[in-house]
Amino acid sequence: MPEWIEPVARYILLEGLPGTLRVSAIAVVGSALIGVVFGTLMTIRFLPLRSLIRLYIEVFRGLPILVTVFIVYFGLPSAAPSLEFGPLTAASIALVLWGSAQVAEATRGAVQSIPNEQHEASSALGFGWVGRHRFVILPQALRRLLPPFVSLLVNIIQNSTLAQVIGGLEILEAGERQNERLSAIPPIGLGEIHAFEIFAGVAVLFFLLSFPLTRLAAYLEKRLA
């Protein structure tokens, strides 16, 4: 094995991978929490609230995620200086805005697919709106949401590469930095170009992260259908 591979692989796995995992974890948890709440509120027959959430969903699903990343990273600080974030945090926030819009839309559908009798029965048992949704409706709806959640996780892991565009250190940025280091003139680099091996390696790493999850999503969809 050529000598250059080991430090490159070490950098991508030890410096890049944790960045990707951090952004993905924050984005998935944030998207799920905000998305389920917004999606459930969408089923309330109160027009102003419903229109507001509908606008949120359509805006963040409609924008290219890269533009949302730029809005969070460059736009927010110029509107209010206190809203300045590091690249990985900014990417996580942008992915939460996009992901929560996806989850909200899916949750609305799942909640509305629960038969009305379930609402009536739990009301008859004395549950209020919150209790009814917390203990009866959402537990059933969430089961239907499991396959889309896994697909969302795959999408979020892949879209976490958008942090690279604003310089966040995740897998792709780690690979890019190593590519530049190796191609620099000695003594800084090796004066060699290994872009093909490095970016193929980055692609393989993402494939290994995503493929088991897409299989899992397909399996869950079949089982829960």
Partner 1 sequence: MILATYDLWAFVSDNQEELLDGLLNTLKVSAFAIAGAFVIGLVLGAARAHRIPVVSQLTAIYVEVIRNTPILVQIFFIFYALPQLGIVFDQFTVAWLSVMIWGGAFNSENFRAGFQAVAYRYREAGYALGFAPFSTFLNVTLPIGGRIALPSSINTYISVLKNTSLMYVIGYAELTTTSLNISNLTLQTTESLTMLAVVYLTLVWSLSALIRLLESRLALPESR
Q: Is 219 in the site for partner 1 (CB under 8 A)?
A: no
- Please, what is the minimum distance in Å from the beta carbon of residue 113 to partner 1? 19
213 class by beta-carbon count within 10 Å (0-12 exposed, 13-18 middle, 19+ buried) = middle
Which amino acid is it at 178? Q
User: Taking CB under 8 A as the rule, does residue 11 contact partner 1?
Assistant: no
How is residue 148 written in tokens? 């889309």
Does 123 bind partner 1 (CB under 8 A)? Our answer is: no
Dist. CA 188–CA 34, nearest whole Å:
46
Name which of residues 190 to 209 contact partner 1 (CB under 8 A): 193-196, 198-200, 202-203, 206-207
Which amino acid is it at 70?
A: F
- Pick from 154, 169, 174, 182: which binds partner 1 (CB under 8 A)? 154
The distance in angstroms from the start CA to the end CA of the chain is 48
Where does this chain touch partner 1 (CB under 8 A) — which range of 45-53, 85-93, 123-131, 164-172?
Answer: 164-172
Burial track 148-187 (b if 16+ CB lie within 10 A, e otherwise): bbbbbbbbbbebbbbbbebebbbbbbbbbbbbeebeeeee
Which of 59, 121, 184, 188 touches partner 1 by CB under 8 A? 59
Q: Is residue 121 a contact point for partner 1 (CB under 8 A)?
A: no
Residues that bind partner 1 (CB under 8 A): 58-59, 62-67, 70-71, 74-75, 78-79, 154, 157-159, 161-162, 164-165, 172, 176, 179, 193-196, 198-200, 202-203, 206-207, 210-211, 214
